[in-house]
Amino acid sequence: MSDYDKYAEQLRHPDNPIVFMEMTAGGAPLGTIVMELFADVTPRTAENFRQFCTGEFRKDGVPVGYKNSQFHRVIKDFMIQGGDFVNV
């Protein structure tokens, strides 16, 4: 069973993509964040985010995306914020 198949039955919409982000701290694995992208509601935003997650987006032929980016803000029991891969 693929990773996608594990989550497919939980999707809000069957055609929405799922992305996976592997988390580490100090090189030690922490786990995986799994996100359904609401392409049925915001197709362009979902596709842009998906490409940043997969590394498919390219600027001047160079992959641009979230790989090896960092969270720069964590608010306990509320949110995490990160992904600034432009100003690193």
| Amino acid type, 33 | I
Largest CA distance in the chain: 39
Residue 1: the pLDDT is 64
Query: Residue 77 has what DSSP assignment?
Result: T
> What is the average pLDDT across 52-66?
89
Instruction: Tell me the per-residue pLDDT of 68-82, one tens digit each, with 9 for 90 and over.
Output: 888 889 899 999 898
Buried-state track 13-37, b at ≥16 Cβ within 10 A, e below 16? eeebbbbeeeeeeeeeeeeeeebbb
The answer to pTM > 0.85 is: no
Q: How many CB atoms lie within 10 A of CB 40?
A: 13
Query: Residue 26 has what DSSP assignment?
Result: T
For the chain, list the domains and their CATH numbers: 3-82 (2.40.100.10)
Instruction: Please say if the pLDDT value at position 67 is more than 60.
Output: yes
Instruction: Tell me the per-residue pLDDT of 24-35, one tens digit each, with 9 for 90 and over.
Output: 989 999 999 999
